[in-house]
Structure 1
């Protein structure tokens, strides 16, 4: 077929590449493939695209190491991002999200950064060497020629705080490894010492005695006063108050014995067990 005829009758060309499990014979050179199943979760790792610098770093991050002996000879890499289970949700009015991904060359110092704060700062200064358009499609695929080395792939929704499950697949002609970046979260030792003090049961017993009075039981009215006093000491806690019915329900949740349900009072031993 002449090229002019091809251009006349066709406007789309799709190229299929065999993965290792679909190799047909010894003469076939299948692609090396890896995949990860992930989820964008609101308030956790649904950071949106790079336009949202304050949250972009929180998106899932995947490190792909492309192997090769010659740094001057590029290797072909295919990356495919697929959002899962969206078509069956169309009946509820939910359609495909606008998704895409970006690929960054990993600088040497980035490999030694294991803390979230370190990576968040470093990521804002990186410039993507490849990125897809953001489109509301089930699957976004890109083909790239990259020198051997380490690259960071960040799949995102366009807008932050959008939730969906996704699948990220990577294909290369040469060998490669793919791993999810999981930053370490740490705290100073004094934080744990303070937690131990808060869990000191003797201190808790004295505090309970002081609040519960002579009968050593918490009534709905006493619980109401405790919660009002507690929230008033913290400016960031906003409340319109606590209804007495709410306090009764809280006591019932803490103890299910019939006697206490009827009396709506809970002694120290029961409260201590629940806490």
Structure 2
């Protein structure tokens, strides 16, 4: 188990994606579970996964000595048990017993996952088992950098000297823990890559949520309230002990050093003549418990009301125990809390509150990184900036959470983890700064009303993609509203230095060429621009639309965009995305006629009522609503044609088009150009 201050090397197999919903599931290694299972059933064979084979390569070369690696055997559950099951009598943390691999950080997260069915069902699909339709193939889902990824495996499990190498089920014929662990090992590249890791990473990968770490050696003053609120709001929780030099060593009081545990409960109970905060904790070993106050045989339980004692106490050697909040802080170093949104920060808030999130995927490059000569001022001037607005209301206790995550390129195995972080600025002055050498940096804040900018940064000159998520608390949320609020508002000025990564995007989609064609442009726009849920609601960019966009930006009239031409298009796209999000006040993913009028004015263009109605008719749906992809096509053509008329105007001042000019402009705006045919 690694602490948040230590470094870890990971292998990744993620695919660049967009919104990250289960409806837009990514297939890891392009393997389709249903297709492969049907194929095996039709041929009467059991699935053998060539991408994660029953071979030493899937174990990893350094996990075991060479002589032990040679003795590894792979066995299917059907070879081990006459009547195997994926799940028996439901999924429970007590089904898990850690094996030889040091993946307590993963198993502690899985133990917490079993308590929260709303997350468990995302990870463990129900359409599989050892009875009907068995073909030796299973699949599990994990969240990776903004996407849910479906990982397919065969059910051959590694054994050493007749014993499970990895996690073993407590019940001999129940196999979901071993198979889930294998799927995660495949996602990470090998079983070896599970030998030491971050509990915080596993919590996020199992939920797609936001996690926060709390130091128990320097705890927040409201730690007890955070624990109770996290338990009440159905968060995943875990904790870890220090001891990098004494890893997996059990001390006399029963606590294991350098180990991860699951936090399974936090309550305040009546004790003697007062109240006591106690914490329930589970050891992924499946045994080994705390021997101090509030343990199973502790005399403290004699002073608890019988009904309460009966409800809370489980006197078994199953790895689970209670301890006081004071002992919890003494014995453990870190607390980890994870949920879809940071609802556990709402403790004590009597108002109706909701959290919403705004996500951004972008690219660090040596130009964007802060560099070796790090300075906050340099980072603000060169790195992407993302703006959000804190409204004017009583936001106690916390109202903003910022989460920044780095991800490695697909072909970069064993890439190092950078020291990453972010600055928060307000009116060009630094407000806060957070940096850490971990996969993600997440912090919570109480910010006063105003407009802020988040500036992601890294202290090293290396190209990486990052995912930035800004969570905002909305006190004025109306439960009966059809549209939840979106608190992240763009500034009224164009983004400055925010999208210099267009060069990296351009090179990625040119396929090693020097220009980009309409087909490549279509793929880029749909992959990158439509990753935002609101902009994607109006539909994808069609091939004809992309040919029309290319024609407007193609100064050389050769059917391709150069890097310089694409850069001009990219600046327009980001400008129009800001305008679209700002004018889409009900967050429907569409603009109506009045919102379109306001958007045109915000862009510094002009259109009379006649033209406005015709634009809505040409680019809108049956209800004359315009989605983002059509909005972009409309605005680019309107801007191009307006500039043409501007050049004809004396002095180059803005021209409000006359009816005659509108009629001249209509063919270019309302019908496809010759490149669109």
User: Shorter-chain-normalised TM-score: which range?
Assistant: 0.3 to 0.5
Instruction: Identify which of structures 1 and 2 has the higher relative contact order when contacts are C-alpha pairs closer than 8 Å and 6+ apart.
Output: 1
TM-score using structure 2 length: 0.21
